[in-house]
Structure 1
Amino acid sequence: MLDSQPPGPQHFDALFRDSDDPWRFKTRWFEARKRALTLACLPARRYANGYEPGCANGELSAELAQRCDRLLVSDVSQRAVELAQARLAAWPHARVVQAHLPDDWPKESFDLIVVSELGYFLDAPGVDALANHARASLRPGGTVLACHWRRPIKGCAFDGEAVHGRLAHRLGFEVLTEVREADFILHVWSADGRSVAEREGFDW
C-alpha cells in the first residue's frame, strides 16, 4: 500500500478536459492486448447482464457490449460518461450512467462484473465496500473479473496487488483464472469453481 490518498472526482474531470483519451486506450498496443486478454479470460461466451464501473471513455465497454445481452457502465466524470455514450451508440442495450463509487453502486443484479483499473483510485474502505457490493449484487454462478496495473501509481492509495488481495478476501470466491505479468495482474473469481471445459460438460 502506498502512503498517499486516492484522487477525487475533480482529478478525473481535469483529465478528460485535457484529453478524450488520457490513458491512450485507443492507440497503445499494451491496452489493446490487455483488453483482448480480459475478454479471453471470461469463462462464458455470453452474459445476461454485465456491469463495468469506471468505464472511462468506453473502449473496453464496447467489447463487453458484444458479450452481454444488457450492459451497464459508469464513471465519475461527466465527460467520460459522454464519451462512453458516444462509443456505445451502436449497442442500444448498453447504458452509461454517472456514478461515484462505491456509494452509487447500482441496485441491480449481474452475472458479470468487470473492475478494470479502478480499485487503486479508492481508499481501503472504498475497495472493501466495492467488493461487498459486487458480492451482494452477483447472481448465482456469476463472474467477477478484475485487472489492474501492478506498478506504483503516484497519488493512489494502493497498487494492483493490494487491490486484488482485498477484493479476493472480501469476495471469498474461487479463482478461475490468474494472469500476472510485469505490468498488470488479472483475476477471475466465481462462486462456481468449475473450469470452462467442465461448464460445457466435458467428460474426463
Structure 2
Amino acid sequence: MSVDDRYFDGLFAGNDDPWAFRQRWYEQRKRAITLAALPRAHYRAIFEPGCANGELSFELASRCDRLLCCDTAATAAALARTRLGPFDHAEVRHSRLPADWPEEQFDLIVLSEIGYYLDAEDLKRLIQRAEQSLTADGQLLACHWRPPIDGCPLNARQVHELLHEQLPLARLVLHQEADFLLELWSREPRSVATLEGLR
C-alpha cells in the first residue's frame, strides 16, 4: 500500500522543513548534482511531483518557461507556493499521484525522492502517466535515497528497476553513490557533446 497522506501531513505539522532541505549540506549538494545532471540549460515545461516545501522547485524555476509542481500535503503545497512567489511562470497544486496526474505535456519530469512512497502498482501507473506526458524530446530524472526508509513499500533500487522496466527511453545519466541514486532517461538519445557538434 502506498504511504498515506496522514504521514506527510504529520511531517509538516509545525515544521516547514522536515527534511532540513535548507540546512543540510547533503541536501544542498544533492540539489546541485541534480541540476548539473540536466542535459539542457533550459526547458519549456517542467513537472515536479512531490515538491515538498519547494527548495528544488525554486532552482528548477530558473531553468524553464513553465514549472508545475504538486504535493499531497496541503501545508507543503502552500509552502512551495510561497517559495515560488517570485516566479510568475510557476504553479503549485495540492494533489495526490498517480490519481491526479496533470493533463499537460512536459519536456522534463523530475521524480525526486518520491518513488518509494508508492507501492509497485501505483508506481507503475505513475511511470505510465509520466511517459505519456513527455514531449517528443522529453526527459525524466529520478533521484532517490538508497538506504531503506521505515514504512515505505519500496527502496531506491526497486524504484529504479521499475523505471528501467517501464520506460522505453534511452538512459543518458547515471550517478550513484552510497547515499543516493540518480538517473535520467530521454526520448532524445544523443549526448550533450553530440548535440553541440563536438562528437
Which one of the candidate residues 9, 13, 16 is aligned to 1:17?
13
Query: Per-residue CA shift, 1:140-163, capped at 9, x if unaligned?
Result: 111100000011000001111110
Which one of the candidate residues 143, 147, 170 is aligned to 2:139?
143
Note the C-alpha offset of 1:18: 3.1
Over aligned residue pairs, what C-alpha RMSD do you find?
Answer: 0.8
The separation in 2 between residues aligned to 1:72 and 1:199, in whole angstroms, is: 27
* 1:174 partnered with 2:170: yes
Identity of counterpart residues, as a percentage?
Answer: 51
Work out the number of aligned pairs and report it: 199
Moved over 3 A (4+): none
The separation in 2 between residues aligned to 1:168 and 1:135, in whole angstroms, is: 12
Which one of the candidate residues 82, 105, 108 is aligned to 1:112?
108
Query: Per-residue CA shift, 1:30-84, capped at 9, x if unaligned?
Result: 0000000000000000000000000000000000000010000000010001100
Which segments of 5 or more consecutive residues in structure 1 lack a partner in the other structure?
Answer: none
The separation in 2 between residues aligned to 1:168 and 1:67, in whole angstroms, is: 26
Which segments of 5 or more consecutive residues in structure 2 lack a partner in the other structure?
Answer: none
Q: What TM-score do you get using the length of structure 1 for normalisation?
A: 0.96
* 1:74 partnered with 2:70: yes
* SS of corresponding position for 1:166: helix
Aligned 8 A contact 2:22 2:55 in 1 = yes
Which one of the candidate residues 58, 61, 65 is aligned to 1:62?
58
* 1:98 partnered with 2:74: no
Q: What TM-score do you get using the length of structure 2 for normalisation?
A: 0.98
* SS of corresponding position for 1:92: coil
The separation in 2 between residues aligned to 1:125 and 1:18, in whole angstroms, is: 32
Deviates more, 1:22-31 or 1:164-173: 164-173
The separation in 1 between residues aligned to 2:126 and 2:167, in whole angstroms, is: 10
The separation in 2 between residues aligned to 1:192 and 1:6, in whole angstroms, is: 32
Deviates more, 1:39-48 or 1:5-14: 5-14
Query: Per-residue CA shift, 1:85-143, capped at 9, x if unaligned?
Result: 00000111000001100010000000000000000000011110111011000001111
